[in-house]
A and B are shown apart, each in its own frame.
Chain A
Amino acid sequence: MCQYCLIQVCTSRFWFNYRHVANVLSVYRSVKRLGIPDSHIIMMLADDMACNARNPRPATVFNNAHEQINVYGDDVEVDYRGYEVTVENFVRLLMGRVPPNTPRSKRLLSDERSNILIYMTGHGGDGFLKFQDSEEITNIELADAFEQMWQKKRYHEIAFIMDTCQAVSMYQKFYSPNIVAIASSQVGEDSLSHHVDSSIGVYVIDRFTYYLLEFLEKIHPASQNTMDELFRVCPKRDCISTPGQRTDLFSRDLSTVLITEFFGSVRKVELVTRVVSVPSLRDLLTTVPGKKDDINEGVTLSNVFADQLPVAQMVQKGKQKEWHPPDGFILAFWALVLLVFFKTYGMKHLTFIF
């Protein structure tokens, strides 16, 4: 169960949407630094930029033209990738109604005490967000999904951050309690990208996320900064679009809510004075040979390796041809059928057909 959960969705595909993946990975990196572990993070990336063949810096994603920090890193876990990022999977994830064989890392293991941070980026419009250029999620669907989560007691508080064009329209229809929403641009405005990295040849980050990250870099796990400072993170002169926020559904006063209540996680550590002895690994390994496990109980295998290319068997099988009736027989059969037909129905029907 995650008490502090993060869901990140990058909904765009193709190389020219590099900046959306960089957005998501930058927030991921900040949040991991502030303490939320991978098991509490669900990351959905619609396309792979790091190992994309077009990337001149393989296995890296940068959010800055100076290329100082590789936000992809060495220890990244992408839960939903490629074609798996669909509206259906996202909504199922939120509501917990995933197929029975979904692994734990792809489930949102939250309960009524969880604070969930949801960050979405991609291409959006008035009232919808595009998923991978082929489908959309509307603001009404999103609001309904949150309401289902509330009814099923799957969250305590949600912070919803959206960096797309006309992002404000996405939170206008929310009606469930305890949701605070921040969006990067108003209805009718476009959310713009920040700058180009000319050695990679793409826009590397969006304006809102760039200033958001600048702000988050100053946060550490013991910071006392509050959530309402997020609203002022990107003024119009920097973002060019006007960020918006929605606080009416949130029960507490946002100037008292710490940023680390959503972006970080406090792990409970218990100090134990009892001494536990652990057998050495070498001892464990040497006691195995010859011992039969429970699962292998009763299964005896001969010490024989299978023939990897059973040519003789194949040739034998190839020689057995399936039996077909001879061609002349088929011809005669159809001639008989036609004769019987015309005899029964008479010649006048021939003129009808022709």
Chain B
Amino acid sequence: MGLLSDPQSRERVLLFLIRHNSKLCILCYALGLVWFLLLPLPPLSAPTYISENALLPGLVKREFVGGPQALSLSREFAANKALVGGLPVEWLNKTMTSLGLEVHTQTFAVDLPFPDEINERYHVRGTNVQGVVRARRAASTEALVLHVPFLPEANDQAMGLALSLAAHFRKQVYWAKDLIVLVTEHDLLGIQAWLGAYHGINLTSLGVRSSELGGYCGALQAAITLQLSSDVATSIDLQLHGPNGLLPNLDLPNLVHHLCLHAKVLCTVQELLPPQEDNAWWQSMHIMLLQALGQASTKPASEHGLFLRHRVEALGLKAINSHRQEKASLEKLGRLLEGVFRSLNNLLERFHQSFFFYLLPSLQSYVSIGNYAPCAAAILVVLFLCAVELWAKLNPEKERRTREAAASNPASIPWLSVIGSIVIAHGLGIALYLGPLVAHQRAANYFDLPEDEAVSLTALGIGVSSLSLPHRGSTPQGWIWLKLFALLELGMLLLALDLLNFPLAFMLAIPTVPAAVVSQPSHKTASIALLLVASPAVISLMGLAMKTELNPHGPTSGQLGGFIGLFLRWLQCLSQSILEHQSLGTNLYPLFTLGLFPCWLQLWHVALWKE
């Protein structure tokens, strides 16, 4: 650290940085990109293994023979579902009691801020049913959850399988943790209501009114969410990420993968086949990009994600029935789940051995945080290098002063225009955050629009109007101060985000870093072009386009109406992100409006700086 205290060596380092600044910036940026592209290959990705010795996967003999019972229960459930027209609470209650479970129901009510067009709900009322298999000789201090979300048109076989498994588990004496079979309504809202009532805490911005929950079973150790809509399945897809980019402990997907190999059931992730030898790099990259996009969208992959926020390791299992030859019957899937739960039962300590931050290029290999962190660090260092150069320009020392003798006289900071710009940018960010919620009612009435469109168009309106603010500055060099501040703010924001949600930070950094570095009044066209590409709106649009393109089983972009379709879906995504932020507590919308947009607007001011 003598380097930092010695003024002469400091000066030498500074000179080096200034002289080679653009080369260093380009080098670091390229390094970050290339590093990311090399992640799926060894040695950056390592083969997966189970770190927790206590799991003992597959050692115990599976005894589940309830396949026919599962099938008949799923038929009964489907029939009762059609009869009642929703979740058949009475039938579930009666069936679970006859199987020997302790049944509790919870009714909940949530009022969304505006109607949700995709799921067609506004004021949500629902019931969650929970059946508990108490552990015999344990003190109900820990519990495992088998979660079956209620879907109006699907998931009958999952219900049947879960009930049949519960019946089998009830007769066994080897449980050290209670088992909760949980049926929730209204997908994410129902499970959020249950988790909030169970843990006595509300992590969302909405008030959830719920009845008193019964049947507490202690701390939840792990949860599995099951989605199964066919009598046989060809593969099991693991759904990993939760809200805000959270991931379950790597031991849990490794455990399920190990047991699938044992049972000879195909196990996939991101609904893609495991990478083959001939095309390994692109296929691994495809899987990894899908995971990164999923985490970057901050939306949970399935209902299991909401458990992750409460520090309960959870995994979503979705059974897929495609045209492959080998089919797994309900009994085989039941044995697989039995193996998973018996391994989870063996645990004494909560999951802590394996990684919590990772990227999976496939189920056979993983990239740990130590291996992927350098790419984000390399790209973000560019911002700080540029900031160093700007700072040096503002505070020239003796040697540099001689070169810019005329133009120097750094004078004082043009406080008014710089502070004014900063304040206006942040104020507009807050307006963009609060505006749609506050003003959508008025906009809907005035413009005669459906509510959620009103929301997204209000947001769009505020955003576009903010571009046209005047940019008159007082001094010709004043923009340097503003750019310095904006660079540092952007750097700190992305660095902090990098620690929480790496894919989101990386994907934001790729367009914004060049735009931030290039934007100057002297390079007006280039900076405006780059800034437009890096604007929050266009970034999210491109993200959506990438997701549509990479999605292996969804409709192609052509089928969805080309560019116009993309734009309309983007508007819907805008209102959905506001809704999810309010009802689930995801952070994409506040990040974009309160974090990214002010930085971007400041850089926009810099680019259009007029003396």
* A200 neighbours in B (Cβ, 8 Å): 60
Chain A proximity of B506: nearest CB distance (Å): 37
* A13 neighbours in B (Cβ, 8 Å): 348
A56 engages B56 (CB within 8 Å): no
B138 CB-CB contact with A under 8 Å? yes
Query: What per-residue 1/0 map shows which CB atoms of B126-142 lie under 8 Å from chain A?
Result: 00000000011110000
Query: What per-residue 1/0 map shows which CB atoms of A24-65 lie under 8 Å from chain B?
Result: 000000000000000000000000000111111010000000
B348 engages A56 (CB within 8 Å): no
B346 CB-CB contact with A under 8 Å? yes
Chain A proximity of B190: nearest CB distance (Å): 31
B56 engages A52 (CB within 8 Å): no
Q: Of all chain B residues, which has the CB nearest A56?
A: B174
* B98 neighbours in A (Cβ, 8 Å): none
Q: A16-B53, A53-B176, A54-B174 are in contact. Are A199 and B60 (CB under 8 A)?
A: yes
With most chain A CB atoms within 10 A of its CB, the pick from B60, B135, B172 is B60
Q: Of all chain B residues, which has the CB nearest A198?
A: B61
Query: What per-residue 1/0 map shows which CB atoms of B165-180 lie under 8 Å from chain A?
Result: 0000000111110000
* A16 neighbours in B (Cβ, 8 Å): 53-54, 56, 346
Q: Of all chain B residues, which has the CB nearest A59?
A: B137
A202 engages B56 (CB within 8 Å): yes
* B135 neighbours in A (Cβ, 8 Å): 53
B346 engages A15 (CB within 8 Å): yes
A15 engages B137 (CB within 8 Å): no
Q: Of all chain A residues, which has the CB nearest B342?
A: A201
A196 CB-CB contact with B under 8 Å? yes
- Considering only residues 330-371 of chain B, those with a C-beta below 8 Å from chain A are 342, 345-346, 348
B174 engages A53 (CB within 8 Å): yes
* B342 neighbours in A (Cβ, 8 Å): 201
A3 to B507, CA, bound (A): 75
Chain B proximity of A125: nearest CB distance (Å): 15
Q: How many residues of B contact A (CB 8 A)?
A: 19
With most chain B CB atoms within 10 A of its CB, the pick from A51, A53, A198 is A53
A53 to B175, CA, bound (A): 6
Q: Of all chain B residues, which has the CB nearest A196?
A: B59
A14 CB-CB contact with B under 8 Å? yes
* A203 neighbours in B (Cβ, 8 Å): 59
B60 engages A54 (CB within 8 Å): no
Q: Of all chain A residues, which has the CB nearest B346?
A: A15
Q: A55-B174, A58-B173 are in contact. Are A201 and B56 (CB under 8 A)?
A: yes
* A54 neighbours in B (Cβ, 8 Å): 174-176, 345-346
- Considering only residues 46-98 of chain A, those with a C-beta below 8 Å from chain B are 51-56, 58
B175 engages A201 (CB within 8 Å): no
A201 engages B60 (CB within 8 Å): yes
B172 engages A56 (CB within 8 Å): yes
Q: A53-B137, A53-B138, A54-B345 are in contact. Are A201 and B176 (CB under 8 A)?
A: no
Chain A proximity of B57: nearest CB distance (Å): 10
* B138 neighbours in A (Cβ, 8 Å): 53
Query: What per-residue 1/0 map shows which CB atoms of A239-276 lie under 8 Å from chain B?
Result: 00000000000000000000000000000000000000
A44 to B56, CA, bound (A): 25
Query: What per-residue 1/0 map shows which CB atoms of A180-221 lie under 8 Å from chain B?
Result: 000000000000000010111111000000000000000000
Q: Of all chain A residues, which has the CB nearest B138?
A: A53
A15 to B135, CA, bound (A): 16
* B56 neighbours in A (Cβ, 8 Å): 16, 201-202
B59 engages A201 (CB within 8 Å): yes
* B345 neighbours in A (Cβ, 8 Å): 54
A186 to B467, CA, bound (A): 76
- Considering only residues 6-26 of chain A, those with a C-beta below 8 Å from chain B are 13-16
A244 to B199, CA, bound (A): 55
* B346 neighbours in A (Cβ, 8 Å): 15-16, 54, 201
* B54 neighbours in A (Cβ, 8 Å): 14-16
- Considering only residues 134-174 of chain B, those with a C-beta below 8 Å from chain A are 135-138, 172-174
Q: Of all chain A residues, which has the CB nearest B174?
A: A56
A54 to B54, CA, bound (A): 12
* B137 neighbours in A (Cβ, 8 Å): 51, 53, 58
With most chain A CB atoms within 10 A of its CB, the pick from B53, B61, B342 is B61
Q: Which of A14, A53, A199 contacts B61 (CB 8 A)?
A: A199
A53 engages B172 (CB within 8 Å): no
A203 to B60, CA, bound (A): 10
Q: Which of A15, A198, A202 contacts B348 (CB 8 A)?
A: A15
* B59 neighbours in A (Cβ, 8 Å): 196, 198, 201-203
A198 engages B53 (CB within 8 Å): no
A198 to B61, CA, bound (A): 5
A198 to B57, CA, bound (A): 12
A53 to B347, CA, bound (A): 12
B60 engages A198 (CB within 8 Å): yes
With most chain B CB atoms within 10 A of its CB, the pick from A51, A58, A201 is A201
- Considering only residues 19-61 of chain B, those with a C-beta below 8 Å from chain A are 53-54, 56, 59-61
A52 to B347, CA, bound (A): 12
* A202 neighbours in B (Cβ, 8 Å): 56, 59
A198 to B56, CA, bound (A): 11
A235 to B174, CA, bound (A): 37
A14 to B135, CA, bound (A): 18
A250 to B342, CA, bound (A): 49
A199 to B137, CA, bound (A): 19
A238 to B532, CA, bound (A): 73
A13 to B135, CA, bound (A): 21
With most chain B CB atoms within 10 A of its CB, the pick from A16, A51, A55 is A16
* A198 neighbours in B (Cβ, 8 Å): 59-61
A201 to B343, CA, bound (A): 9
Q: Of all chain A residues, which has the CB nearest B175?
A: A53
- Considering only residues 98-138 of chain B, those with a C-beta below 8 Å from chain A are 135-138
* A196 neighbours in B (Cβ, 8 Å): 59
A307 to B61, CA, bound (A): 56
Chain A proximity of B50: nearest CB distance (Å): 12
Q: Of all chain B residues, which has the CB nearest A47?
A: B348
Q: Of all chain B residues, which has the CB nearest A201?
A: B60
* B176 neighbours in A (Cβ, 8 Å): 52-54
A53 engages B60 (CB within 8 Å): no
A203 to B54, CA, bound (A): 12
* B136 neighbours in A (Cβ, 8 Å): 53
* B61 neighbours in A (Cβ, 8 Å): 198-199, 201
Chain A proximity of B608: nearest CB distance (Å): 40
A7 to B474, CA, bound (A): 88
Chain A proximity of B426: nearest CB distance (Å): 26
Chain A proximity of B153: nearest CB distance (Å): 39
Chain A proximity of B347: nearest CB distance (Å): 9
A56 engages B173 (CB within 8 Å): yes
With most chain A CB atoms within 10 A of its CB, the pick from B174, B175, B342, B348 is B174
A90 to B411, CA, bound (A): 76
* A51 neighbours in B (Cβ, 8 Å): 137
A170 to B60, CA, bound (A): 34
A201 to B172, CA, bound (A): 14
Chain B proximity of A48: nearest CB distance (Å): 11
With most chain A CB atoms within 10 A of its CB, the pick from B56, B135, B175 is B56
B: residues with CB less than 8 A from A are 53-54, 56, 59-61, 135-138, 172-176, 342, 345-346, 348
What are 14 contact pairs spanning A and B, CB under 8 A? A14-B54, A16-B56, A51-B137, A52-B176, A53-B136, A53-B175, A53-B176, A55-B174, A58-B137, A198-B59, A198-B60, A198-B61, A201-B60, A202-B56
Task: Kindly list 12 other residue pairs between chains A and B, CB separation below 8 angstroms, not including A15-B346, A55-B174, A56-B173.
Answer: A13-B348, A14-B54, A15-B348, A16-B54, A16-B56, A53-B135, A53-B136, A53-B176, A54-B346, A198-B59, A201-B60, A201-B346
> Closest 4 A-B residue pairs measured CB to CB?
A201-B60, A53-B176, A56-B174, A198-B61
